[in-house]
Amino acid sequence: MSSISSLHVVVVAYGSWGHVRPLCALAARLVKLRNLDITFLIAHNNYDKVADEISKNFDDADDTLQARIRIGALHAHEHNPYDYEIIGQSFDTEYQKLSRGETMFCYHAQKGIPALAPPQALILDIMGYTLMQIARKQNSSVKILCAGPASVLSTYMLSGLSEAESGTKSPLERKIEEYMQKTGASLEDAAEGVYNIPSSKIIQAPGLPPMYHYENSPQELIQPITKVPIGRIHLLADKMLRECDGYISSSLACVEPQEVVQAFYQFFGITSRKTYLLGPLLPMTKRSEAADAKQAAKSPEITDFLQNTLQARGERSLIFISFGTLIWTTQPEKVWTFLDVLVEKKIPFIMSHASPFSQVPDEIQAKVKASGTGLIVPWAPQQAILEHPVTGWFLTHGGFNSIVESIYAGVPMICWPFSADQPLNTLHLTENLNVAYELLEVRTGDGLKPIYRTGKAPTGTLEAVRTEAGSVLEKAFGEDGDRKRANIRKLREASFELWKPGGAAWVAGGQLLDSLQWKA
């Protein structure tokens, strides 16, 4: 049972699910490593989903360990995970109680959570700079760690850490101030203006080939997504990285370019801070496998399609297509063209279009259904599909969580990156790790400018998309694809070792807890 004298860590998991989910696994990993208690603070409207995800990180024999994670719900905005005003007020009130060793109020259960000793550490998502300011005002002695759900590669490059020494005003902050002085824009508008200005400047991440700056945005984004305050998010993440007491990455030590990992260590080392690579942060339990199977069983159309394809076509014959739960293209006709090629080549596929902005025309649905080759669904159990023996390839936007799940399943990728960390991830997957292909002719907007590594500009026509799709698929199901599959299988096996005793993540997790002055 929990002890008033054991180490007490507060974790705040707020934001999109891609940010919250790794923190659920992190909490489980930490209580399995040492004798500690975790107060896991979340948005009230995410309570059930978080409780279920945390449970999936334990097996039935781990009930005592699971009980060490107490979930506390804070009042938050009902729909906007980027709003920190409402949850900030709730956090201010309840964190004060935790800091005094008092009972806090759970907004979901509408009752108090028993008191523990004041926390020694606070773990916040990389977007939680507002919460860090609140916590520091209350108690400056508590160690605050920043947790990032993306690769070290993309965090290092997109935050601007590569351009300035730790502790100085960042280049991003200076650019925003200059933009405000020049235009009279507000801080938020200036941040968006600076972030959304692509240039022909050549950039190069440590360990990666060079690229043009505008290649970080190879796709135009649909208007609702452009309204997300990306510039402000990057500015606050930049501040968080410079002011936190250490950094926890969800990334895998066996996947990252070692050059960028060393650069990241050096940045934090300037101020005697540490970086901890603790990925993969996924549930890896029998309970999780059972939960995934139960979830998949709710979609009999999908499970039947997988099994029928396996019997008819054999293992590794199917392509799974998903761009995540938000991303969608401004030119969906390029997606339909790719599906046309799959149908013509009789390559079986399942496409999940979970984005609220995706609309599949009736004629496309009818054509695919009549072919008997594919299945188009509004949602699919991604991990279950990737781990099914019939799945041979994953067509993905290249988001970090999707990449980790693909590596964990040992499935090579065909990447269609849009923005954020996706282009850098894709460059590493294709050029360094050789576990993926990138579709270039599907680019739009600034993405149609010349590509540094090829010296050519995509034409972006549907005919070019069709030709490239045919070429990539031919290679994917040939000897070149076999080599990529062998490479990702090696990464898969290496990832399984990371959290075993003596593995890189296991060691780093112990070092993290040691840094919090844990004592036996």
Please calculate the CA angle 384-389-394 and round it to the nearest 5 degrees.
65
The pLDDT tens digits for 458-485 are 999 999 999 999 999 999 999 999 999 9
Distant-in-sequence, close-in-space partners of 402: CB < 8 Å, separation ≥ 6: 322, 324, 382, 394, 396
Q: How many CB atoms lie within 10 A of CB 5?
A: 10
Three state DSSP letters for 339-403: HHHHHHCCCCEEEECCCCCCCCCHHHHHHHHHHCCEEEECCCCHHHHHCCCCEEEEEECCCHHHH
pLDDT over 90 (residue 427)? yes
Cα–Cα dist 383/365, whole Å:
24
- Residue/partner pairs of 156-160 with CB below 8 Å, 24 or more apart: 156/205, 156/206, 156/260, 156/263, 156/264, 156/267, 157/203, 157/205, 157/260, 157/424, 158/216, 158/234, 158/420, 158/421, 158/424, 159/234, 159/237, 159/238, 159/241, 160/238
pLDDT over 70 (residue 276)? yes
- Provide the pLDDT confidence category of residue 234 given band limits of 50, 70 and 90: confident
Phi, psi of 249, rounded to the nearest 5 degrees: -105, 140
Helix axes 362-371, 333-344, angle to 10 degrees: 10
What's the half-sphere exposure (Cβ side, CA atoms, 13 Å) at 76?
26
Give me the mean pLDDT over the 391-415 stretch.
Answer: 97
pLDDT over 50 (residue 445)? yes
Please, which residues bridge with residue 13 across strands? 42
- Burial class from Cβ neighbours inside 10 Å (0-12, 13-18, 19+) for residue 157 reads buried
The pLDDT tens digits for 23-44 are 999 999 999 999 999 999 999 9
Give yes or no for a contact between 512 and 278, defined as CB atoms under 8 angstroms apart: yes
Residue 195 has a pLDDT of 73
Q: What is the DSSP string of 200-226?
A: --EE--TTS--EEGGGG--SPPPHHHH
Q: How many CB atoms lie within 10 A of CB 320?
A: 24
Residue 225 has a pLDDT of 53
Q: Is 346 left (phi over 0), alpha (psi -120 to 50) or beta?
A: left
Block residue for tokens 């030119």: 331
pLDDT over 80 (residue 166)? no
Cα–Cα dist 444/461, whole Å:
10
pLDDT over 70 (residue 2)? no
Give me the mean pLDDT over the 428-446 stretch.
Answer: 97
Q: Measuring CA to CA, which residue among 461, 416, 456, 451 is closest to residue 219?
A: 416
Q: What domains appear along the chain, each with residue ranges and CATH number? A: 7-154+244-283+497-515 (3.40.50.2000), 164-233 (no CATH), 287-496 (3.40.50.2000)
pLDDT over 50 (residue 1)? no
Residue 165 has a pLDDT of 52
Beta pairing, strands 374-377 & 349-352? parallel
The pLDDT tens digits for 361-393 are 999 999 999 999 999 999 999 999 999 999 999
Q: Torsion over CA of 438, 444, 449 and 455, rounded to 10 degrees?
A: 20
Cα–Cα dist 400/405, whole Å:
9
Give me the mean pLDDT over the 80-84 stretch.
Answer: 79
The pLDDT tens digits for 118-159 are 999 999 999 999 999 999 999 888 999 999 998 999 888 877
